[in-house]
Structure 1
Amino acid sequence: MAVRNLPVSRQLNLDWILHPVITSDFLGSDWETRPLLVARDDIDYFASLPGLNEVEELIAATCGGNSPTRADMRIIRSDRGERPSELDAQLHGNGTPDIQAIYRAYQNGYSVVINGLHRTSAAIADLSRNLEGVLHHRVGVNLYLTPRRGQGFAPHVDTHDVFILQLHGVKHWRVGTPSKDLPLPGAERRPVELVDCSDFTLNPGDVLYLPRGFPHEAITSDSSSLHLTVGIHAYRWVDFMIEAFGVMAGNDVRLRGALPPGFLDGPFETQRISDILESFTSAVQDGALAEQVKARIGDKLFKEGKAAGSGHFRSLDSIQSLNSESLVFRTPSLFCKVRSTSGESRIEFATNFVAGPEYLDPTFNFIAEHHKFAVHEIPGMLSAQEKLDLVIRLVGEGLLQITPETEEVADGRR
């Protein structure tokens, strides 16, 4: 029997990005606090991700034809002392990108930037989903290809945390001290000065973590550079509070009322504000409001569009071989949750869900909590045939996949 590994998505996770740094140590000491360089002597560490040979394919997927992601393609150059310049990605009459024009721009010092790679690359989508499954914050991935002795962007500040994954070549980073800790999105953009800088040099296989608010710039010297910027768009406490007041407003007419006419000309009625805040505090302490807010944030996380994973058609071809002993699995990158209402239970994943009677709660919870199991191990008030029918449904809808051992039976190789 041939031995094959489960999909590489099992490795594209936060532990893998940080290795040999322990994830819990990172979250306890570095997260939102300070830059961290993970230097490795392993140029092939990121070989499972798209590399220099795939850039043209990613360009075509991003800006070809009437693609809605065309705006995610940027060709940009920043020279010290001069204003940055940017070129439009040109298309041929048949809708394909003018790759020769991009080549010429690259030779003239322009960086090629592809934003939203999690929407066009299956491997990057797996990485993004895996990180969201651990952090429960939105994750987006951009690609940056910079020619030798080039600089894509002038010194700037990001309002989201980033992991820089160096795929090819060498890039030098200068990171300054924040003028404001943890800035919010939409914060006023001002010219950035790099003060009390730290210098980091990234070689292939290295990772640099930058918390939001740290001003930085990156340049190449004698080699070109290809890196991924994995952006962590955190749900902040202020986001939680906004969501919480939104939930509360559905039940409290005081929050739905208009501010007093002419309110800009006089003081607010502070007692009214105090009464609302007292009700809010009481609702938070009860716990139910917090659970509703978590559900709303979870819904937003689920609805983030990403490229599909790879290999699922093989599982669909193997459905006819499933039996009670068959092993199935859910890739860790596919985050799911169970939601119960009066009379109904549903398991939600990606932008899809499967629903049934409320007695399926223990069944769905088992599936959500286990990444690999045999069909007969599923608990609940289901017959052997009903368990098999449910697994077939979940494979068909994209939640579960069939293990390689079962696929071999289907292909007649065992």
Structure 2
Amino acid sequence: MLDDGNGVAGGDEAVGGLATLLAPVGLREFFGGHHESAPLYVPGAPGRFRELPQLADVDFLLTATVSDRIRPGDGERLVRSEAGGGLTERRVRTLSSFAVDVQAVYRAYDDGFTLIVNRLHRRHDAVARLCRELQAQLRFPVGANLYLTPARSQGFLPHADSHDVYILQLHGSKVWHVSAPETELPLRTEPGGPRALPEPEIRTLTPGDVLYLPRGWRHAALTGETSSMHLTVGVEAYTWHDYLTVALDVLAESDVAFRAALPRSYFDGPVDPDQMDALTARLASALDDSGVRARARDRLCSRLSRQTLPTGFQRFASLDALPALHPSARILRDPGITCVVRTGAAETTIEFLGNHVTGPTVVASALAFIAAETSFTVADLPGPLTDTDRLDLVRRLISEGLLEVDPK
């Protein structure tokens, strides 16, 4: 079940996309034999993740970066599995200045609690870059949490996640116990734990190693004589269930039959078979309609475009450069930003990063070009536009956060 890669990834490799993360295992092998079906262990060299947070960086992350502590699940947590099988959890205290009470965190850690720093992709540039690259490749929402566990301790009880995870070992070692799923590819609503671990396979991760676990696979992790820190990169796959749900929404908006109330007799007796046959036929016909399929796909793309992962752009420098912008200026778009372009009868909209810009249909081909390209000059924009039109459009998209002036 926990297959090995064919070698050790080079220690000089920088953090990159999925191909780099899983090297030397190729993407064809991964998607053909592991994705959504079986765990994969990939050994790596100690310096492989040097760009990602190290043990010495955790104090800074707690004291000098900001999390969404209004919602505990989006900030920091402290958890500890107990010998009797229970789980103890503490909220991370904040001081009157809203800063983390780091001394309380130190005491909890010394008392065996695992420190979890959630949504680290919003607090660390290299983690954000990794998540952007994976999200652009996989076309699913991606986020990352950091786990720091003291020696001879266990954070969570055995459980299963409803999303795929890539575990990147950053410091120390951790022993993972992994068992096959109770429910294959569970929905997001499936309870995650606690779970028994029958006949687990055991794998010890050391710095540079990666462990991929498809959603649903049960697991637990324990430290030995040293502390351990790892990054869990979670991927929330869009499923056919998501597609059909969105497609049904599209259908209901245009077909009143799907918006009609259930008959009063629905809960008391059999449903009129003719009515059910008619609805089933209309649904099957709609799912075969290219327009319905395209609108459902666009809505899932829009959902992805609202995943506002931080970018690595130099926004303020680009804003400063706007007054001197000229047609030959080179413009950049982060390939990790998902863009969706919609063109109607009277206007065209480009959606990105939870934002959107709308203009007349004359800019439709220019917006489609921008959504497809990552480097171009202002003059490259197609369509019946003047140089002034092109400059105005690019200025607007820079000011809204989609584009950047090449700093070179």
Normalising by structure 1, report the TM-score. 0.88
**In structure 1, what is the Cα distance between the partners aligned to 2:380 and 2:21?**
33
Corresponding residue for 1:381? 384
Corresponding residue for 1:45? 48
**In structure 1, what is the Cα distance between the partners aligned to 2:314 and 2:44?**
30
Q: More displaced, 219-228 or 116-125? A: 116-125
1:36 aligns with 2:40: yes
1:262-341 matched pairs, under 5 angstroms: 262-341=265-344
1:68 aligns with 2:75: no
Per-residue deviation, 1:220 = 1.1
For 1:164, what is the secondary structure of its paired residue?
strand
CA deviation profile, 1:117-141 (whole Å, cap 9, x unmatched)? 2344444333333322222222222
Corresponding residue for 2:405? 402
Corresponding residue for 1:88? 91
Corresponding residue for 2:367? 364
Q: Is the 8 A contact 2:172 2:229 kept in 1?
A: yes
Per-residue deviation, 1:344 = 1.3
CA deviation profile, 1:325-365 (whole Å, cap 9, x unmatched)? 32221111212122111121222211222222212122112
User: Structure 1 315/12 Cα, relative in aligned 2: closer, same or farther at 3 Å?
Assistant: farther
1:251-270 matched pairs, under 5 angstroms: 251-270=254-273
1:102-113 matched pairs, under 5 angstroms: 102-113=105-116
Q: Is the 8 A contact 1:119 1:305 kept in 2?
A: no
1:213 aligns with 2:213: no
For 1:228, what is the secondary structure of its paired residue?
strand
Per-residue deviation, 1:16 = 2.7
Q: How many residue pairs get matched?
A: 394
Corresponding residue for 1:6? none
For 1:354, what is the secondary structure of its paired residue?
strand
Corresponding residue for 1:15? 19
User: Structure 1 57/270 Cα, relative in aligned 2: closer, same or farther at 3 Å?
Assistant: farther
**In structure 1, what is the Cα distance between the partners aligned to 2:353 and 2:306?**
7
Which ranges of structure 2 fall in alignment gaps of 5 or more residues?
1-13
Could you tell me which of 25, 30, 42 is aligned with 2:29?
Answer: 25
1:143 aligns with 2:146: yes
**In structure 1, what is the Cα distance between the partners aligned to 2:333 and 2:27?**
22
Could you tell me which of 341, 345, 350 is aligned with 1:347?
Answer: 350
Q: Is the 8 A contact 1:63 1:69 kept in 2?
A: no
Which ranges of structure 1 fall in alignment gaps of 5 or more residues?
1-9, 406-414
**In structure 1, what is the Cα distance between the partners aligned to 2:20 and 2:379?**
32
**In structure 1, what is the Cα distance between the partners aligned to 2:29 and 2:325?**
42
**In structure 2, what is the Cα distance between the partners aligned to 1:384 and 1:282?**
46
Q: More displaced, 15-24 or 208-217? A: 15-24
What letter corresponds to residue 89 of structure 2 in structure 1?
E
Per-residue deviation, 1:289 = 0.9
Runs of 4+ in 1 over 4 A off after TM superposition: 60-64, 188-191
Corresponding residue for 1:7? none
Q: Is the 8 A contact 2:365 2:382 kept in 1?
A: yes
User: Structure 1 168/290 Cα, relative in aligned 2: closer, same or farther at 3 Å?
Assistant: same
Q: More displaced, 228-237 or 66-75? A: 66-75
Corresponding residue for 2:9? none
User: Structure 1 190/321 Cα, relative in aligned 2: closer, same or farther at 3 Å?
Assistant: closer
Per-residue deviation, 1:70 = 4.1
For 1:226, what is the secondary structure of its paired residue?
strand
1:45-194 matched pairs, under 5 angstroms: 45-60=48-63, 67-72=69-74, 73-188=76-191, 191-194=194-197
**In structure 2, what is the Cα distance between the partners aligned to 1:40 and 1:300?**
34
User: Structure 1 261/246 Cα, relative in aligned 2: closer, same or farther at 3 Å?
Assistant: same
Per-residue deviation, 1:316 = 2.3
Q: More displaced, 95-104 or 303-312? A: 303-312
**CA RMSD, aligned part only?**
2.3
What letter corresponds to residue 391 of structure 1 in structure 2?
V
For 1:347, what is the secondary structure of its paired residue?
strand
CA deviation profile, 1:18-75 (whole Å, cap 9, x unmatched)? 223222432232110110112112x2322223332332343347777x8434443210
CA deviation profile, 1:84-108 (whole Å, cap 9, x unmatched)? 1112212222222110110011111
Per-residue deviation, 1:308 = 4.9
Greater relative contact order, per chain length (Cα 8 Å cut-off, separation 6+)? 1
For 2:267, what is the secondary structure of its paired residue?
helix
Q: Percent identity?
A: 40
**In structure 2, what is the Cα distance between the partners aligned to 1:213 and 1:320?**
53
**In structure 1, what is the Cα distance between the partners aligned to 2:89 and 2:69?**
20
For 1:216, what is the secondary structure of its paired residue?
strand
User: Structure 1 238/118 Cα, relative in aligned 2: closer, same or farther at 3 Å?
Assistant: same
User: Structure 1 310/218 Cα, relative in aligned 2: closer, same or farther at 3 Å?
Assistant: farther
**In structure 2, what is the Cα distance between the partners aligned to 1:268 and 1:61?**
61
User: Structure 1 223/311 Cα, relative in aligned 2: closer, same or farther at 3 Å?
Assistant: farther
**In structure 1, what is the Cα distance between the partners aligned to 2:72 and 2:192?**
25
